Amino acid sequence: MPRFAANLTMLFGEASFLDRFERAANAGFSAVEFLFPYAWSAAEIKQRLEANGLTLVLHNLPAGDWDAGERGIACHPSRVDEFRAGVFKAIEYAKALGVTQLNCLAGKIPADVSVEVLQQTLVANLRFAAAELKKADLKLLIEPINTFDIPGFYLNRTDQAAAILDEVAADNLYIQYDIYHAQRMEGELGNTIAKYLPRIGHIQLADNPGRNEPGSGEINYRWLFKRIDELGYQGWIGCEYKPAADTKQGLGWMSVLLKPEITASSGNSDSMDWMKNLAG
């Protein structure tokens, strides 16, 4: 049965970031993820995780100046030193917070840089990051992101990510498969997940259009959840969507889209707790 983690960058925006941990736990989540921890001390975040019995399953490497519109620097040849410093910072947080995998955003294509140099830079940076993360027993992920939401994003398709994995040749490098981004760029979700499942380290979700809750758009999440379960995916699925209204009230999609017979047969206590919380 799919296991869901609350993305605290996107969900529970009604509260401040540090207060979202309690909100997630009260809503029935046992795991969380978010984009970046670096605006807070690791000690502050660890305290919120422990106080609410939550597991942190993912955060990103530093990705440049996010507020200024940057979305990663891993493909930027002029910023290799900054990227490498960010790797060490992310590992430090990961060790403190108990997370086992970190996501690397490739970034938007910088001006006046050839495709060859972009690729060489990204591959070299990923080799460095994967080697350093392996020393800390961490997985490294790369995430294809759609170019409608982020024009010019260098890594934007699953087959492109798989080819990069081949070139980097690191056994702790995986794909972060975001269903929303994949639907916008390529569709064919079930077959793509099946094809690349051994190389997928983490999945995220949102519906399309709008990037709102599952069930609000064109993606057949009832079928897709069943398919992911049949394929034997064992990782977490991050709920990285924009709630249409109040986050907790909007969580009813889970009771609607997870068929009772699948939930009952899975023996997954997290899933059963979800159904109890949503029913209560």
Q: What is the pLDDT of residues 108-120, one digit of tens each?
A: 999 999 999 999 9
CA proximity to 201, closest of 100, 126, 123: 100
44, 92, 116, 143: the active-site residue: 143
What is the per-residue pLDDT across 205-219, written as a single tens digit (0 to 9) for each? Answer: 999 999 999 999 999
> Is residue 279's pLDDT more than 80?
no
Q: Are 190 and 220 in contact (CB under 8 A)?
A: no
Enter the pTM of the model: 0.92
- Cα–Cα dist 193/202, whole Å: 11
Structure tokens at 34: 């978010």
Domain ranges for the chain: 3-249
Task: Give the total residue count for the chain.
Answer: 280
**Residue 140: helix, strand or coil by DSSP?**
strand
Average pLDDT, the chain: 93
Residues paired with 7 in a beta bridge:
33
Q: 3-249 belongs to which homologous superfamily?
A: Divalent-metal-dependent TIM barrel enzymes (3.20.20.150)
Among 14, 82, 167, 240, which one carries the catalytic annotation? 240
- Determine whether 167 is an active site residue: no
Amino acid at 208: N
Reported as type and span, the H/E element at residue 87 is: helix 80-97
Is 82 tagged catalytic? no
Percent of the chain with pLDDT over 90: 90
Q: Judging by DSSP bridges, how do beta strands 236-239 and 200-205 pair with one another?
A: parallel
